[in-house]
Amino acid sequence: MCGFVCLWRCGDEALARRMIDKIAHRGPDAVDVISAGNAPVIMAHCRLSIIGPENGAQPMHQDEDMLVVNGEIYNYTDLRAILGEGRFRTSSDSETILHLHRSDILRWVTRLDGMFSFVLATPERIIAARDPLGIKPLYFARIGDGIALASEIKAFDGIGVDAVEAVPAGSTLDSVTGLQRWFRIPQGAGRAEDGIDEQAVWKELRLVLEEAVRKWMVADVEVGSFLSGGLDSSIIAAIAARQLARRGRRLKTFAVGLKGSADLIAARRVAGHIGSEHFERAFTPEDVAEVLPHVIYHLESADTDLVRSAVPTHFVARLARRHVKAVLTGEGADELFAGYTYHHGYVDRPRELADELTRSLGTMHNINLLRVDRITMAESLEARTPFLDRELVAFAQSIPATLKLRRTDADNPDRTGPTTEKWILRKACDDLLPHDLVWRRKAQFDEGSGSVDALAIALQKMTGADAPLDRAAEGACYKQILCEQYQDPELVLSNAGDWSLGRAIAV
């Protein structure tokens, strides 16, 4: 996991160094700036070494090509075998991108399986790309006739650009052909066909999920797991713990919250059930007030919901980084399996629910994935999202929406019974955890951890208000904090996502 800067036909090494220094938290293991002698390109890279730590330094300069990468290519061993081991000079997964580009394979970017963003420069052009769902960030700006690219918007702050744009998820940016899509999210399925074998579906889902966790644990360093005590993180941790136990190893899990909060209690119970080595931290409103400017600066957003969930993410990332370099998270399960409260309004409209899940998957890059990437990388921690594995996404999208959100008493003729979100996921993993934990109703991370209450107290103290701030005042406070920390705050605000945008509650 890393951060990078690329200047194509613009700037100099001093500018590249200035930009990479602003995102050096993404990679504390090594920082380097290189100019290509045979191409108008300068690349800078800060590295958090996860795979190939001994010889995977970047920027990677081979023959006439130069490469910077952020992320992980999980099928790199298969690609090395296909491309020929003799071509490779390092054990880094990133090097596969160079040789795929040089091969005769059509649409070579589609062969990459993982979470990634990269820029590849040849003497004639640059090609930048981003993974299917935009798990890893990538931004660009025009400088004269050239292009500047970087892993975070803050790299562009104060350098005089007029606008910054994100390379869309599942897209390439080619200096010759421009922006092009290379991946589209499969359309979700609506109503189940009569006679569908539900048991077969959830058994297959379990296998696909187990394979995703196995794949996303590939690393040359220890991988831990966030554990909020909620369904999604508990499932991932339980599967990971089983897989590690087969190798005689024990999973490390991490939880945070206010003292006595529901998340801490539930996480402790899950950790005991799966046998993980568990670490936890109780934070206070005073702790929240102290870290809030740091969180908002790194989040690159003042969206109220994102800030609320970013606060506990900060505390759990800081806790985890004391013990591991990489962690698994449960992000993506709500978008795949209808886990949000507003989804319940769609229970009798499966086609609309399937369309909404597909739509929300396409917005994750600028909302929850932005939060996870920025806040974990601010602590030099790599976060991995197995639920967003490409094969798992494809399979989950093929599952009818009627199996994701359904009435608990589905046979009730008046169809007025309570609804259960993520039903098929719960069935698939019913044996992994205590029954009551598998079937308990969802609580948002910021609610279960108590961070909303802590934020309310912290903001009241910070502003000197006589009463807790209403939502509008809370959002205005976050925006002010962000603007005070950037020379060009509009670059950030114009790119920031809005969690609630387009999420209408169906009635």
Residue 162, token pair as written in the block: 């007029």
**Residue 132 amino acid letter:** P
In 300-340, alpha helices (H): 304-321, 333-337
The region, left, alpha or beta by phi > 0 then psi within -120 to 50, assigned to residue 90 is: beta
At residue 444, what are phi and psi to the nearest 5 degrees? Answer: -60, 150
Smallest CA-to-CA distance from 374 within 22, 53, 51 is with: 22
**Residue 267 amino acid letter:** A
Task: State the catalytic residue, choosing from 2, 6, 10, 477.
Answer: 2
Spacing of C-alpha 467 from chain mean position: 35
CA distances from 385 to 27, 313, 382, 506 (A): 19, 14, 10, 28
Helices 231-245, 262-274: inter-axial angle, 10-degree rounding: 20
Residue 125 DSSP class: -
Strand partners, 31: 46
Could you please report the per-residue DSSP string of 412-467? -TT--S-EETTHHHHHHTTTTS-HHHHTSPP--HHHHTTHHHHHHHHHHHHHT-SS
The answer to whether 93 is a known ligand-binding residue is yes
d(CA 212, CA 332): 13
Tally the C-alpha atoms within 13 A of residue 68's C-alpha that lie toward its C-beta.
31
Smallest CA-to-CA distance from 237 within 333, 148, 101 is with: 333
d(CA 106, CA 86): 21
Smallest CA-to-CA distance from 8 within 165, 95, 128 is with: 128
Smallest CA-to-CA distance from 376 within 445, 328, 317 is with: 317
d(CA 226, CA 296): 21
d(CA 133, CA 139): 15
Compute the Cα dihedral for 378, 382, 386, 388 and give only its sign. Answer: positive
Q: State yes or no: is 429 an active-site residue.
A: no
Judge whether 307 and 478 are in contact, CB under 8 Å.
yes
The answer to whether 446 is a known ligand-binding residue is no
d(CA 254, CA 165): 34
d(CA 115, CA 400): 26
- Detail the residues annotated as belonging to a binding site for ATP: 256
- Detail the residues annotated as belonging to a binding site for L-glutamine: 93
- Detail the residues annotated as belonging to a binding site: 93, 256
Give the active site residues. Answer: 2
